[in-house]
Structure 1
Amino acid sequence: MGNYKSRPTQTCTDEWKKKVSESYSVIIERLEDDLRIKDSELTDLNSSDEAFQKVNLNYRTESGLSLLHLCCMCGGNKVHIRTLMLKGLRPSRLTRNGFTALHLAVYKDNAELVTAMLHGGADIQQVGYGALTALHIATIAGHHEVGTAPVHTSLRHYFTFCTVLFIFRNSSAGVGNNGCSNKRFLDILLHPSSSTVNAQDNEDHVPLHFCARFGHHEVVHFLLQGNFELQPHSVNIYGDTPLHLACYNGKFEVVKEIVQLSGTESLSKENIFSETAFHSACTYGKSLEMVKFLLGQNAMSINHQGRDGHTGLHSACFHGHIRLVQFLLDSGADMNLVACDPSRSSGEKEEQTCLMWAYEKGHDTIVTLLKHYKRPLDDSPCNEYSQPGGDGSYVSVPSPLGKIKSMTKEKADVLLLRASLHSSFQLQLSDLEFNEIIGSGSFGKVYRGKCKNKVVAIKRYRANTYCSKSDVDMFCREVSILCRLNHPCVIQFVGACLDDPSQFAIATQYVSGGSLFSLLHEQKR
């Protein structure tokens, strides 16, 4: 069994997809580079047909484009293609970037020119840059997510004609080094069977896993409704069903399709990280509707514990989903249930509540919520908020990681404010002269003083170790708002000291009338 906290964010399939996507980007970049030609290089091509008959067949641009390439790129027609090929211009010529005219015609989605070149004898199996055939280019240029076989994309989207034409002319539609029978491949596309819809990759994913993960609910509906002997509850090497992947990625429409069309069997299945589909939805944490839907199936309790003991509330706390945590608590989730770390030996198992999971990840707002949460109609908090099995020590905030997160965010906020605030508004503490105190509050004190011989009001922030809403955050917000205000009815902003939190100060126009708060509430006029 795996440790939930060590669950990888990417699978081997993700890494493979990333590498493929990077290679696709390079291919598209090289194709686009071939499509950039100088205006002077188009002069002969855009002249009369008579002139076209007299052009130099050996002409090539600086990037290695032949006249055949130019015809495919710049509005040539099948007559031009046929004429050039009859005159002996070889369609197998490659540009400097490694593409034939057929590659470019396919990339431009020009079925007429593709047909003309194929009828003229162009080799549809000729490889160019990266050992790519024209069929590969057709599928890459579909500008759509590619699944396990790129031909699926081309058949469904923009390059249908090109792909079908290649298949019927015995092009290899295989991926990698493994070619396949084109007739059999076409049969698979048009007449899927149980052996194909349940085909597995090297991580035991079936097609339904990918459809669920990427949210293709129409395809999910088609597969589940079809008579294909689909196995909707199959698991990959991580123990994930398609429903797990849909929940992990927030694909609510797919979740509803799977549950409504295949039943609730997947709801009770746990993966190797002790997560059911409900846990997975809590790990995603951004769709309350999806969580409500799963709970509404009555297949399991909101307090269902995985093999390691962790609940959906643990998962939500671990990933910092405070809205979901609030919802689960209001719906009856028990924050006292404990999970055990499976990586420890049996004699050293440490029991941890969801509060400890939130504390460990530095989600201090959730820790505070759990510590002070009261159920509706309750008069007291729900528990003692101490770690079970420990020494009973009280959990306090900020947590170590929470403090680091807070400090990092504060420093970033100050740096951004310095970069955006005009230099005329940036003051040094030495520019200010503090006189008598004219007000105070939780933020610090307000002084009457001077800034560059001008009488001003100076709000001096006091350094505060920690509070629920950072003083640094409040200071940055106030300065960013004041510096944009310029109106006779609004106190004028003079500047701010930004060098260090211990020296934070804001200087504004001094108004002798005193505090508006005092006028409204203290003097009670």
Structure 2
Amino acid sequence: MGAYKSRPTSSCAEEWHKKISESYAVLETRMKEDLDPKDIEQYTGIQKACCSGDTDRVLELADERCVVTKTETGLTLLHLSCISTGSKPFVKLLVHAGARVSSLSRNGFSPLHLACFQGDVDLVKDLLLEEADPTVIGYSSVTALHIASLNGNEEIVEHLIKCGANIHARDTVKFTPLHIACYFGHEKVVKCLINHGADINLSGEVGDVPLHLTCVKGHQSITELLVKGRRNNKADVNAQDNEQHMPLHFSCRAGHLTTVDYLLQPNLGTKAHEVNIYGDTPLHLACYTGRLDIVKSLITKTGPTSLLVENIFSEAPLHSACTYGKNIELVKYLLSQEGVNINTQGRDGHTALHSACYHGHYHLVQLLLDQGADMNLVATEQNGDSEKDQEQTCLVWAYQRGHDAIVTLLKHHKRPQDESACGDYSQPGGDGSYVSVPSPLGRLRCITKEKINVLQLRASLPKNFHLDINEIEFLETIGSGSFGNVYKGYCRGKIVAIKRYRSSAFSAKSDVDMFCREVSILCRLDSPYVIRFVGACIEDPSHFAIVTQYVAGGSLFSLLHVQKRNIDLQSKMTIAVDVAHGMDYLHNLPHPIIHRDLNSHNILLDEFGHAEVADFGESRFVKSMHEDNMTKQPGNLRWMAPEVFSQNTQYSIKADIFSYALCIWELLSGELPFAHLKPAAAAAEMAYRSTRPPIAITIPKSIVNILQMMWSPNPEERPTFAQIIPMLDDCRQEFLAVSKTLSGVLSMLDADWATPIDDSEDGLEMGYSGLEPSPSDLEPGELPAGNVTALRTQWEMCAKSLSGEKNGSSVFPATDKNGYVSDPLSTLRVNDSPILPQQD
């Protein structure tokens, strides 16, 4: 992958600063060990008295023999006196009795080191009065002044300097006390050290001056102190470390905007376009860390000079932003700058798209493709032999890194402006979807992620939803899909539906991932308009299953296109409103859910004709949509929103509104949307040609207006379900008024209500199920309540009885060759009563 392959994830300076932080953490740990001994119960009486600061006891027990004793960790009585804070008059006594004031513990610290770390000003003064040496070097070559600077105690620093502490002493990383005070952000100590003449421009082990350290940490006030300095002792804003980083490089990479703005003041003379040994300008480093605010400030204040500069890895700032890949707005901003070309190739030929593919930034790859990035441009992998150099596209980079979702996206991508996008509707398989062969690395990552998902699901799923496969009795198969089969069965005394998953996942979309996601969503749902979750088998991958309530009426798809039932307008409106309530519930949860696969297969009807939303295998929590790579074309293509089909993974819950509109059209018309086309072709027609299903004159105008809003090509113009529900309720009330008027016509017809009808066309004998009132209980002209799976209403009966009139004419037309009644009012009626509580 050319020189890009060797790009380090961080600079040597960054690694060095991590080591420094770790070393000072170890330093603090060792001092705390000395100040908090674990074997204090084994100490002598005078040692315990020194630890507790008991002056009277120390004076009583002190003699020349005991004052020179040490603990097993090398602590003298003076070390132990540092454990408790406060005045210790016995320090002078101990020194005069022979205690060594500068003795080091086994951890490498003198009593003065520990007193400085403890912040005990009185003890520090007492030790210095007894001629404790402030220049004694302890562990890691630190002096007492280093420790006081680390601790941020200005008074102790002042006192140490007055007593002869070396203000320019260096520890093992060549840091002076000023370096340490700057690194840890102790402003008062910095000011004190500068006032006493500390050299502001002394460099550390890797050439880093105090100003570098303040810019790394973003200590704005200290930065100003160093730059202003004192007399001729001022910080050099263009000082370079061993990697030629200036302070501006560090502040840009760390994202400290106020520090950047300060350094960019014209009077300071900061060189904003200087490069380090990697060829990175400050703009590069801001892009590598996704700092949009820093990038804007740099370009606004210093001009576009750095925009086209390539570093030694053949990357301009646009490449750098794509390497980071998590700030899409930054990439958009860079592309909006004059002179920036999305297809600019570095010296090795790789583009911004190569960078995004290499690092697996799915959403960014999507954006670049939509903005016109050329996926056919090649980068050259240098092998030292020009004859063996390989030219590699961004697809190869994605495959070699194991980013299979991006490989799929690249293989399948067609921009709306491409001519072929509208004509090449289908591929082998019929759904127009490309499935890539997973790369070995991508497959390994997938397996690891699946195991993590299952473990997390087991831990988070409430215990009452945990099922054992032995608790389930499987009956007949009632459905199937790519995931496995759906069975009717019994579980815990209830009739249930069991969705049995396969545990293997060898395609681009993992069955295990879908299973875990669906269970995690279902267990959070509680609405009469959404399928009720019973539990899941999650312990054994070979027995993965999801158990839900059994909905007797089957799917809306089956009712319309398999059974070819005809539903009256009021019942259609009941179904439409129920589904809208279910979707509104999903969209307005505390953590909203986007269904992404709303179609007539996933709308189930109970025995009373009410609808429930089901199948959440493709669903997502909205909050995670921008965190995870959104699935390429989720759900059924025939009901898919244009923005989903046209490769835009940044779609919203408004995609569900579009799918819902097609379901309503299907419900009203009794036909599949674009039934003459394959699913991919239907989706392409809607996405690229803005075609919509034809609206028959029999569909009420009020419904037509709602449909046109819901399937608008602009998602922002589509209403929410909260807005749709009152619209549909108004339509239902309007149709109910019309229905009552028509019932007056029916009252004039003399029909034999009690006689069952032998339907010679389909061989079914239709009768009353016992759920509806008997004919004798009905008022004249009143329609009977019907059962979705068994009932034909008076409309169809009348059509039958009158079909033999002379001249073949009838006020009620008979069913057509497809089994449909051509009258706009259909023949299946359900109760208008509210949804009944679910029966256990």
Fold shared by both chains (TM-score > 0.5): yes
**1:278-289 matched pairs, under 5 angstroms:** 278-289=318-329
Q: Is the 8 A contact 1:244 1:280 kept in 2?
A: yes
Q: For residue 278 of structure 2, what is the aligned residue in structure 1? A: 238
Where does residue 335 of structure 1 map in the other structure? Answer: 375
Q: Return the alpha-carbon distance in structure 2 between the equivalents of residues 492 and 279 of structure 1.
A: 47
Cα distance in 1 for partners of 2:422, 2:376 equals 9
- Of 134, 146, 166, the match for 1:136: 146
The alignment partner of 1:308 has SS state of: coil
Give 3-state SS (helix, strand or coil) of 1:5's partner. Answer: helix
- Contact 1:154–1:163 (CA<8 Å) still a contact in 2? no
Q: Secondary structure at the match of 2:307?
A: helix
CA distance in 2, matches of 1:382, 1:80: 93
2 CA distance for matches of 1:175 and 1:103?
Answer: 22
Structure 1 contact 71–77 (Cα < 8 Å) conserved: no
Alignment correspondent of 2:749: none
Task: Determine which of 98, 102, 105 is the counterpart of 2:108.
Answer: 98
SS in 2 for 1:256: helix
1:203-262 CA distance string (max 9 Å, x none): 333333223222233333333326554433222222112221222122333333433333
Give the aligned length: 507
1:23 aligns with 2:23: yes
Q: Which residue of 2 aligns with 1:32?
A: 32
1:504 aligns with 2:544: yes
Distance 1:187 1:456, change over 3 A: closer
| CA-CA distance at 1:457 after TM superposition | 3.8
User: 1:514 Cα deviation (Å)?
Assistant: 6.0
Segment drifting more, 242-251 vs 205-214: 205-214
- How does 1:374-523 map onto structure 2 within 5 Å? 374-376=414-416, 380-381=420-421, 396-418=436-458, 433-449=473-489, 457-462=497-502, 465-467=505-507, 469-480=509-520, 491=532, 493-496=534-537, 498-500=539-541, 502-507=542-547, 517-519=604-606, 520=611
> 2:189 and 2:97 mapped to 1: Cα distance?
28
Query: Is 2:280 the partner of 1:207?
Result: no
> Given the alignment, which residue of 309, 312, 315 partners 2:352?
312
Q: Which amino acid aligns with 2:282?
A: P
Q: Contact 1:72–1:104 (CA<8 Å) still a contact in 2? A: yes
- Alignment counterpart, residue 123 of structure 1, candidates 113, 123, 133: 133
Identify the residue that residue 359 of structure 1 maps to in structure 2. Answer: 399
The one-letter code of the counterpart of 2:398 is A
1:3 Cα deviation after fit? 1.3
What do residues 416-449 of structure 1 show as CA deviations (whole Å, max 9, x unaligned)? 4456668997667577553212333443322234
Contact 2:227 2:237 in 1 (8 A): no
Which amino acid is the alignment partner of residue 461 of structure 1? Y
Helix, strand or coil at the partner of 1:231: coil
Q: Which residue of 2 aligns with 1:157?
A: 185
| Greater alpha carbon shift after TM alignment, 508-517 vs 360-369 | 508-517
Aligned to 1:345: 385
Closer, same or farther: CA 26–328 of 1 in aligned 2, 3 Å: same
Output the amino acid matched with 1:205.
H
Q: Give the direction of change, closer, same or farther, for the CA distance of 1:261–1:498 in structure 2 (3 Å limit).
A: same
Give, in whole Å, the separation in 1 of the partners of 2:176 and 2:286: 21
Partner of 1:387: none
Q: Which residue of 2 aligns with 1:198?
A: 238
Match of 2:62 among 56, 66, 86: 56
Of 301, 308, 314 in structure 2, the residue corresponding to residue 274 of structure 1 is 314
Runs of at least 5 residues in structure 1 that lack an aligned partner in the other structure: 181-185, 385-393
Partner SS for 1:310 = coil
Q: How far has the Cα of 1:270 moved from its partner? A: 0.7
CA distance in 2, matches of 1:513, 1:418: 32
Tell me the SS of whatever aligns to 1:3: helix
Which secondary structure does the structure 1 equivalent of 2:498 belong to?
strand
Which residue type is aligned with residue 125 of structure 1? Answer: T
Superposition deviation, residue 367 in structure 1: 3.0
CA drift of 1:269 comes to 1.3
**CA distance in 2: counterparts of 1:511 and 1:151, whole angstroms:** 75
Counterpart CA distance in 1 for 2:503 and 2:55 is 82
Q: Distance in 2 between matches of 1:193 and 1:255?
A: 31
Q: Which residue of 2 aligns with 1:262?
A: 302
Deviation at 1:31, TM superposition (A): 1.7
Please identify, of 187-196 and 509-518, the stretch whose mean Cα deviation from structure 2 is larger. Answer: 187-196
- In 2, the alpha carbon distance for the partners of 1:66 and 1:456 equals 77
Specify the code of the residue in structure 2 equivalent to 1:157.
G
Q: Is the 8 A contact 2:74 2:104 kept in 1?
A: yes
Could you state the TM-score of these two structures normalised by the residue count of structure 2?
Answer: 0.51
Structure 2 CA distance, aligned partners of 1:296 and 1:490? 47
How big is each residue's C-alpha offset from its partner over 1:242-301, in whole Å with a ceiling of 9 and x where there is no partner?
221222122333333433333322222111110011211111111223323333442422
* Matching residue of 1:74: 84
Supply the distance in 2 between the matched residues of 1:188 and 1:120 (Cα, whole angstroms). Answer: 38
Q: Look up the equivalent residue of 1:35 and give its one-letter code.
A: L
TM-score by length of 1: 0.77
Matched residue type, 2:328:
L
Change (3 A) 1:284 1:177: closer
In the alignment, is residue 216 of structure 1 matched against residue 303 of structure 2?
Answer: no
Partners of 1:139 and 1:150 within 8 A in 2:
yes
Q: Aligned equivalents of 2:355 and 2:255: distance in 1?
A: 22
Give, in whole Å, the separation in 2 of the partners of 1:299 and 1:69: 67
Distance 1:25 1:461, change over 3 A: same
Q: Tell me if the contact between 1:318 and 1:354 (Cα under 8 Å) persists in the aligned partners.
A: yes
2:13 counterpart residue number: 13
Paired residue type of 1:505: A
* Contact 1:428–1:499, Cα closer than 8 Å, also in 2: no
Correspondence for 1:388: none
Maintained 8 Å contact 1:375/1:382: no
Q: Name the CA shift for 1:34/1:341 in 2 (closer, same or farther; >3 Å).
A: same
- Give the number of the structure whose alpha-carbon radius of gyration is greater: 2
Q: Give the 3 Å change call, closer, same or farther, for CA 54–171 of structure 1 in structure 2.
A: farther
In structure 1, distance between residues paired with 2:150 and 2:295: 29
Rounded Cα–Cα distance in structure 1 between residues aligned with 2:373 and 2:49? 75
Show the counterpart of 2:338. 298
- Distance change in 2, residues 1:48/1:251 (3 Å): same
